[in-house]
Amino acid sequence: MRIAIVHYHLRPGGVTRVIEQAARLLQRAGHQVVVLAERSPADFPVPVHAVPLLAYDEGREPVSPAELEAALLEAVDSLLGGLPDVWHIHNHHLGKNLALPRVVADLARRGERLLLQIHDFPEDFRPYNYRRLKQYIPEAEFARCLYPNAPQVHYAVLNARDRGFLRQAGVPEERLHWLPNPVWLPASREDVRSWPGRLWLYPTRAIRRKNLGELLLWSVLGGPEDHFATSLAPENPREQVFHRQWVALAESLKLPVTFDLAAKTGWSFAAMVAAAHCLVTTSVAEGFGMAFLEPWVLGKPVTGRDLPEITVDFTRAGVDLSHLYSRLDVPVAWLGETALWERLAEALSRLYRDYGLPAPDDALLQRAWRAWVTDDRVDFGRLDEPL
């Protein structure tokens, strides 16, 4: 088969590693594979055609769907000599490039065979993305653009939770596939570094949902030999605002934390892992949860916050994550019950408003409170940055 894999970019990170592994394995199985992305990186295992119009369009005027579709068709024609047998498109619906969902809907309408791989949902606590999509895509086309439905359109999901979402939304079982991410292993382990003392490495691009405040709390509680680090800084300007706040706080408190270790040291991912005493995750939301699996393959333990609705697939397969915690409780009295309640009500009301839903009633607020608070203690992961 001739397969065209499409994603916004190929920057270092989880989706890029998934694409790289899939492309390599499909090519090894005898398929002709090409990748279309914003830029063409060096040393990618299959041909990459740069399509600059695929770039994120936050903060600028979106490109027209017709222009983007023409660029994609020109790219596949130059690499494959015609249309692919299958378009394998990642996260088309996320609102990072507003033209892409409309292009995908048009390809579906024209009968192109599509495999749409869902890593994240704009409906899953991404109100900014969802608002952008609602403002750009006409209401009559909205569902068709985000989730096109046709006999030749299939969906791939990363976990049982997401499979359940799409099944309930009406995607037929025969067009819905569970495609877990491949767990990555460095090709070479020669790039070995060491760290004085114990390095607790959070191998992540430090965006907001990665819950950096909890990592800083860990650093406060660590011993004199413990140092904590994140591997990558965010590139999204909105995410950088929160990241700078955490960096400034860590500096003001003189915490043993290094942010963006890769840039600070020039080390590869394999080198950072080799230097680590233990890998850490404090994330409060994941699409797949690679952070729970990669450390074992790389010969390192992992510890931190569990996400049971994500990790249930791993535990069913026999991975032991019983040492992780699903809550990290601190006394409500430290924050004040009134202040906490007001923040919860404000956050939930804003969330419902962003999604165009009726304001939450008191019963819903009480239900949220019970999820946040147990025995006069609140889960640290529920708190926003000021709290």
- Tens of pLDDT, residue by residue over 234-258, are 988 889 999 999 999 999 999 999 9
Q: Is residue 191 one of the residues assigned to a domain?
A: no
301 DSSP assignment: -
> Contact at 8 Å (CB) between 127 and 94?
no
Among 178, 209, 241, the domain-final residue is 178
Q: Is residue 89 one of the residues assigned to a domain?
A: yes
Which pLDDT value is given to residue 112? 98
Domain shared by 169 and 294, yes or no: no
Tokens of 327: 């809550």
Lowest mean pLDDT among 16-20, 134-138, 369-373: 16-20
Q: Is residue 341 one of the residues assigned to a domain?
A: yes
Which pLDDT value is given to residue 186? 62
User: Mind listing the pLDDT tens digit for each residue in 122-132?
Assistant: 999 889 999 99
Q: How many CB atoms lie within 10 A of CB 140?
A: 7
Instruction: Say how far apart CA 281 and CA 64 lie, in whole Å.
Output: 39
The CA-atom distances, in angstroms, between 319 and each of 18, 293, 322, 380 are 21, 8, 9, 26
Lowest mean pLDDT among 106-120, 130-144, 176-190: 176-190
Q: What percent of the chain has pLDDT over 90?
A: 83
Tokens of 91: 């996260």
Q: Is residue 184 one of the residues assigned to a domain?
A: no
Q: Is residue 369 one of the residues assigned to a domain?
A: yes
Domain shared by 126 and 161, yes or no: yes
Domain shared by 113 and 217, yes or no: no
pTM for the model: 0.86
275 — pLDDT class (breaks 50, 70, 90): very high
**Contact partners, residue 248, CB within 8 Å, separation at least 6:** none
Residue 332 has pLDDT above 60, yes or no: yes
Among 316, 338, 371, the domain-final residue is 316
Which pLDDT value is given to residue 183? 80
Residue 187 has pLDDT above 60, yes or no: no
210 DSSP assignment: G
Domain shared by 165 and 279, yes or no: no
Q: Which of 225, 222, 231 is nearest to 258 (CA)?
A: 231
Q: Is residue 161 one of the residues assigned to a domain?
A: yes
178 forms bridges with which residues in the sheet?
157
User: Mind listing the pLDDT tens digit for each residue in 281-313?
Assistant: 999 998 888 889 988 888 899 999 999 999 999
Domain shared by 22 and 166, yes or no: yes
The per-residue DSSP string of 252-285 comes to HTT-SEESSHHHHH---HHHHHHH-SEEEE--S-
Question: Tell me, what CATH number does 120's domain have?
Answer: 3.40.50.2000
**To the nearest whole number, what is the mean pLDDT of the chain?**
93
Sign of CA dihedral 129, 108, 147, 284: negative
Instruction: Say how far apart CA 256 and CA 224 lie, in whole Å.
Output: 9
Residue 375 burial (C-beta neighbours within 10 Å; 0-12, 13-18, 19+): exposed
Domain shared by 228 and 345, yes or no: no
Tokens of 280: 């850490």
> What is the CA angle 171-177-181, rounded to 5?
135
Instruction: Say how far apart CA 207 and CA 205 lie, in whole Å.
Output: 6
The per-residue DSSP string of 23-88 comes to HHHHHHTT-EEEEEESS--TT-SS-EEE-GGGS--TTSPPPPHHHHHHHHHHHHHHHHSS--SEEE
Provide the residue range defining the domain that includes 27: 2-178
* 122, 128, 132, 137: CA torsion to nearest 10: 30
Domain shared by 161 and 202, yes or no: no
Number of structural domains found in the chain: 3
Domain shared by 309 and 253, yes or no: yes
Which pLDDT value is given to residue 35? 96
45 — pLDDT class (breaks 50, 70, 90): confident
Residue 346 burial (C-beta neighbours within 10 Å; 0-12, 13-18, 19+): exposed
Q: Is residue 99 one of the residues assigned to a domain?
A: yes
Domain shared by 212 and 303, yes or no: yes
Residue 182 has pLDDT above 90, yes or no: no
Residue 27 has pLDDT above 70, yes or no: yes
Residue 94 burial (C-beta neighbours within 10 Å; 0-12, 13-18, 19+): buried
> Contact at 8 Å (CB) between 246 and 212?
yes
208 DSSP assignment: G
Domain shared by 245 and 164, yes or no: no
Among 145, 178, 211, the domain-final residue is 178
The CA-atom distances, in angstroms, between 211 and each of 5, 81, 216, 279, 297 are 31, 46, 9, 15, 24
Q: Is residue 25 one of the residues assigned to a domain?
A: yes
Which pLDDT value is given to residue 296? 86
Q: Taking phi first (over 0 means left), then psi (-120 to 50 degrees means alpha), and beta for anything else, what does residue 46 get?
A: beta
**Contact partners, residue 223, CB within 8 Å, separation at least 6:** none
Residue 98: φ, ψ to 5°: -70, -20
Residue 243: which H helix or E strand, with range? helix 237-252
Domain shared by 161 and 131, yes or no: yes
Domain shared by 107 and 22, yes or no: yes
